[in-house]
Amino acid sequence: MNFQRFSAATVVIVSGVVAAMHIGKIPPAIPLLRDALGVSLVEAGFLLSLVQVAGMLSGVFVGLMADGIGMRRSVIAGQSILGMASLAALWAQDPADLLLLRALEGCGFLLAVLPVPGLIRQLVPPEKLALHLGLWGAYMPAGASLALLFGPLLMAGFGWSALWAALAVLSCLAAGAVFFSVPSDRQRRAAAAPVVAGSEAWRERLRTTLTASGPWRIALAFAMYSCQWLAVIGFLPSIYAQAGVNGQVAGALTALACFANVVGNVAAGRLLHDGFAARALLYVGFVGMACAAFLAFNPLTAGLPVLRYLAVVFFSAVGGLIPGTLFSLAVHVAPNERTVSTTVGWMQQCSSLGQFTGPPLVAWIAALAGGWQWTWVFCAVAALAGLLLARGLDQRR
């Protein structure tokens, strides 16, 4: 396959979409896995978020390592790990094997996606950076929606193992595409503007990043977004299954809601490119998510299923303004040129923490309440925290 006809930035963005499909393969499989493994609702929430453990524990350190091992090498290694772990799951003998491999997929996912904003920054001209980072912000919903749409079709005919095998092949193809299309790290360094010899030690880069307020604000704001988005979208197939909707229809409805997030991400990149204030976009995103969650889960709308579904779609779409804006902000709030990857790593680490804790918390609330009617309260609290964090960000794009 001739990968070189595609731009390098396009290849790394598509590679991120493939990595995100590994995240999205779990939600449509939860009802099947619950029947097969007998796991509880809360355990299903941990299965949904287990892939984020690596990011939660080591995101900032992978960011520190990215320049040392090479961002291109990191993406290739991550896709290779995703492919091997997904393929090895075909021989899993019990749930413990599957959970262990899921944790390994978390390591591969982090290696595959964490260096990409830095790569994009090197591969595109400055005037197109906001647009491309807006596109990159859509990698997670784009990949998850594809898995939600096609996963049930594969699993209906061939079982869950067919989906795992297909994604293993896609990850191998993504690794090859990055290898052949993206210039090596040494070539990019030679082509780039000279940097100061003997750049800061990793301890200094870490200290510089974590003592600045900007990286903390965007990282925690990302956590407030990710904890509620993954919880709502991740449990939609289970919610629909409880309502008697068949798996393929539930997967299609969830995929559409998930894909709506892509629209918000792309819109964020375009609006930032046109000069809109980043803080204003964050305000709109968090307020919109809180209002939409109220309409989607409040008992007052229990008899209005169409309204509830449209509210979920709006929840996802308006929420897409947040990651698209935060990825663009990351390259501006980094303390200096040499801490961009570290800043993105810290943002990814806090995002992973939100994705790890959000689904189990929502599942716990649902188990206590006997339904999903209090989910909107969780979303409202997270949105309020996000608004307070956004207040401290300046108006720079």
Please write the tens of the pLDDT for every residue from 207-255. 888 888 889 999 999 999 999 998 888 778 777 776 677 766 777 888 8
pLDDT on residue 64? 67
CA dist 374 → 221, 308, 315, 327 (Å): 22, 14, 16, 30
Ramachandran sector of residue 194 (left: φ over 0; alpha: ψ -120 to 50; beta: rest): beta
Measured between alpha carbons, how far is 300 from 144 in angstroms, rounded to an integer?
30
For residue range 126-164, what is the model confidence (pLDDT) as tens digits?
A: 778 878 887 888 888 889 888 878 888 888 878 778 898
Contacts of 327 (CB under 8 A, 6+ apart): 117, 133, 134, 136, 137, 344
- The mean pLDDT of 168-176, rounded to a whole number, is 96
* All structural domains of the chain: 3-191+199-391 (1.20.1250.20)
Average pLDDT over residues 71-81: 91
Per-residue pLDDT, 302: 82
What stretches of 274-339 show up as alpha helix (H) in DSSP?
A: 278-297, 305-319, 321-333
**Residue 194: band (very low, low, confident or very high) from pLDDT cuts 50, 70, 90:** very low
| Residue 372 main-chain phi, psi, to 5 deg | -100, 15
What do you get for the CA distance between the two ends of the chain, in Å?
A: 38
Above 50 in pLDDT, residue 33?
Answer: yes
| Cα separation values, 195 from 14, 189, 337, 397, Å | 29, 9, 9, 24
| Confidence label for 104 from pLDDT (cuts 50, 70 and 90) | confident
Region 322-342: what's the mean pLDDT? Answer: 81
What confidence tier does 205 reach under pLDDT thresholds 50, 70, 90? confident
Rounded to whole angstroms, the Cα distance separating 26 from 48 reads: 6
Mean pLDDT on 375-389: 94
Is this model's pTM higher than 0.75 or not?
yes
Q: How far apart are CA 262 and CA 146, in angstroms?
A: 12
Over the chain, what is the mean pLDDT? 82
Cβ-based neighbours of 15, under 8 Å, separated by 6 or more: 75, 79, 112, 116, 174, 175, 177, 178
Residues 5 and 7: their CA atoms lie apart, in Å, by: 7
| pLDDT given at position 317 | 94
Q: Please state the rounded mean pLDDT for residues 39-43.
A: 62
Residue 360 has pLDDT above 70, yes or no: yes
Question: Looking at residues 284-298, what average pLDDT do you find?
Answer: 94
Backbone phi, psi, residue 70, to 5°: 100, 125
Comparing CA positions, the residue from 68, 71, 337 lying closest to residue 185 is: 71
How long a stretch of residues is the chain? 397
Q: In the prediction, which pLDDT does 195 show?
A: 43
Model confidence at 51, in pLDDT bands (50, 70, 90)?
low
3-class DSSP state for residue 55? Answer: helix
